[in-house]
Amino acid sequence: SHHHFTSALRMPACSLVSVIALAAAHVSYGGPRSALASHVQSSAMRRVVAPRAAPRVVMATSPGLVLAPTESGGVDDKAVGSVCVKRFISDEGESWKMWYSARGTDHDPDVLPIATGQICLATSDDGVHWSREGPVITENKDDWWWFDTAHVGIGDVQVMSSQAERTGGVAMYWAYFFGGDQDRQDEDGPKGASMSVGLAISSNGQNWGRVEGEHPCGSILRPGEKGEFDEAFVGWPQVIMHGNEDYRLFYHTITPEGKYVVAVAQSKDGVKFDKKGPVLEPGKPGSFDARGAGARHIIETPEGSPAKYLMFYEAVDEEGT
């Protein structure tokens, strides 16, 4: 029989936010803590055609605020969510790119109600004042059997300069994103709750093509089988280059028991991944993180540091706070 559970589905702090803020150390991936009541039941390249919008400059109107939902009628007039920001330095100066998840009020109301829908791009000269460039990856409207036909959200963007030799000297952007399809996991549940991870590549960070993964739905990572810890969904990927031909993809899931878990998958080429299991599980009963990590971001430390990586995470206690 199918297993059901109802819980507050806590997304990573970089995912379920209504505004994007700037912190003292360049960029904050976080936002207001929030929880979403959600009913979850267990259970080659294509051109992305995205409508272009005229750039709109967004000025900070309160301390720390750099990007907020637009006024009625925009592709992101309901919510802006997870972000990935890259800074580039050249002889001409610095430039910034921000890829962010967005949802408009006209998005299908039956889709899982989180801050995903389309992936948009904003650009900046200083990391503070941003110009919206419009959606760059939309929900998949061409391939009905794919995993991302209902909504998509950004997880991570890697600038793969090591791939330049393969691509005629052009450094490639690799976007690791996640999304859900039109299926409902049960009669009363939302569409797109069983999320998977996909890959798209670009030569300029703006025009993207999906890469067809090894799974029949086109994804590069999908939920586990019934009874496995990640049977509900896999989402919010972050990729770390651990070494030559060693890609580590960290992702977020929620177990059948309602615990929040961070897990990892490994790859030699950044496309085909093998799951290696959880890397951060809930703490002991009564501890500050008894229900697990509701948000996380991993950084590589400077050479000579005691640890190679640091993971910053939002702890969730037994009360869900």
Question: Does pLDDT of 272 surpass 60?
Answer: yes
Question: Does pLDDT of 312 surpass 80?
Answer: yes
Let me know: does 246 contact 266? Beta carbons within 8 Å.
yes
The confidence band for 170, taking pLDDT boundaries of 50, 70 and 90, is: low
Give me the pLDDT at residue 1, please: 35
Tokens linked to 3 = 């297993």
| Mean pLDDT, residues 31-57 taken together | 35
Give me the pLDDT at residue 14, please: 38
| Mean pLDDT, residues 45-50 taken together | 38
Task: Report the distance separating Cα 137 and Cα 194, nearest Å.
Answer: 19
Tell which wins on pLDDT, 54 or 63.
63
Q: What is the mean pLDDT of the chain?
A: 82
Q: Is the pTM of this model over 0.95?
A: no
Strand pairing partners for 160? 172
Give me the pLDDT at residue 21, please: 55
Task: Report the distance separating Cα 131 and Cα 134, nearest Å.
Answer: 9
| Mean pLDDT, residues 85-100 taken together | 93
Closest CA to 137 of 192, 182, 181, 100: 100
Give me the pLDDT at residue 171, please: 57
Give me the pLDDT at residue 45, please: 37
The confidence band for 32, taking pLDDT boundaries of 50, 70 and 90, is: very low
Question: Does pLDDT of 165 surpass 50?
Answer: no
| Mean pLDDT, residues 85-93 taken together | 90
The confidence band for 92, taking pLDDT boundaries of 50, 70 and 90, is: confident
Tell me the per-residue pLDDT of 293-306, one tens digit each, with 9 for 90 and over. 977 899 999 888 88
